[in-house]
Amino acid sequence: MAKVIVVTSGKGGVGKTTSSAAIGSGLAMTGAKTVIIDFDIGLRNLDLIMGCERRVVYDLINVINGEANLQQALVKDKRIPDLYILPASQTRNKDALTKEGVQKVIDTLKSDGFEYIICDSPAGIEQGAMMALYFADEAIVTTNPEVSSVRDSDRITGMLSSKSYRSEQQLTPVKVHLLITRYCPERVQREEMLSIEDINDLLGIELLGVIPESKDVLSASNLGEPIILNQDSDAGKAYQDAVDRLQGIERDFRFVTYQKKGFLSRMFGG
């Protein structure tokens, strides 16, 4: 049974595309046929993060308008055999996304045997974001430990339970997961940053993963390689844990506590 998973957040710049790329890649690496759809019409970036920007010919809007078929628009990943990207249009208006059009694309993907359909949502709560979440079975709400991001995540969680197909048809509600990104245990210990528990109390969403702040994420996007492929990196390992949990495998939370430095290293600024 195919699963439609939206990666959303409300606020911009919290790591939706990075997370879509990492989680989509992780799922495809299990051998499940996976597609990541970029819903950020006019500001496409998933292609860059995935390193396939030079192979984009057609896009989501072309498919919706019947100017290309799905096979022509899907970009096959060169590293992971079962992974495909469906890029956003760079030139069109986001109103080109219609409910019927998106439904048609998702239905075609399902009948083509895709097991995971990851919808990378744009920021905000306008047409693009609403279309990205409308058909979702599950949602990954990406949140930074920061006030505006937490508030927006709460808002988008409300949208998932009132503005989605599942809510309108009164089906089982969208299963919502919380993904905390750019977490810095050291700053949490100094009480400069909201903790996992704080965010949990505020949002009340089941925790899927905690990705530590890491310079490897920027390096990965510089190279156009999903961060999950770097298993030497803490962030890459944390994304792998999240992918495992998404499939029902239990994993302990890593990289969430800070090991205090010893007296000597503090004295000498080590």
Partner 1 sequence: MGLLGYFRRNEPKKSSARSAKDRLQIIVAHEHSSSVSPAYLPEMQREIVEVIRKFMDISNNDVKCEFSDNAEDDMSVLEVNITLPKSK
Residues that bind partner 1 (CB under 8 A): 146-147, 150-151, 154-155, 158, 188, 191-195, 198, 201-202, 266-269
Nearer to partner 1, 53 or 146 (CB): 146
Q: How far is the CB of 226 from partner 1 (least distance, A)?
A: 31
Q: Which is nearer to partner 1, 25 or 153 (CB)?
A: 153
Nearest CA among 176, 171, 144, 142 for reference residue 159? 176
Residue 25 or 144 having the CB closest to partner 1: 144
- Between 68 and 202, whose beta carbon lies closer to partner 1? 202
Pairing verdict, β 116-120 and 34-38:
parallel
CB 38 within 8 A of CB 48: no
Residue closer to partner 1 (CB basis): 85 or 193: 193
Q: Looking at beta carbons only, is 31 or 158 nearer to partner 1?
A: 158
**C-alpha dist (Å) from residue 251 to 7, 149, 195:** 21, 26, 19
**Which neighbouring-strand residues pair with 117?**
4, 35
Nearest distance from residue 143's CB to partner 1, in Å? 11
**How many other CB atoms are found less than 10 A from the CB of residue 260?**
10
Least distance to partner 1, CB of residue 269, Å: 5
Across the chain, which distance is largest between two alpha carbons, in Å? Answer: 67
CB of 194 to partner 1, least distance (A): 5
Place of tokens 């239905």: 107
Place of tokens 């949140």: 143
As measured in angstroms, the least distance from the Cβ of 151 to partner 1 is: 6
Angle at 155 between CA 132 and CA 206, to 5 degrees: 85
The answer to whether the beta carbons of residues 238 and 254 sit under 8 Å apart is yes
Find the shortest distance in angstroms from Cβ 268 to partner 1. Answer: 8
Work out how close the CB of 190 gets to partner 1 at its nearest, in angstroms, rounded to a whole number: 8
Which CB atom, from 95 or from 192, has the smaller least distance to partner 1? 192
Q: 27 near 116, Cβ under 8 Å? A: yes
For the chain, report the end-to-end CA distance as a whole number of angstroms: 52
- Rounded Cα distance between 254 and 8, Å, is 23
What is the distance between the alpha carbons of residues 80 and 181, in angstroms, rounded to a whole number?
24
Place of tokens 């030079």: 54
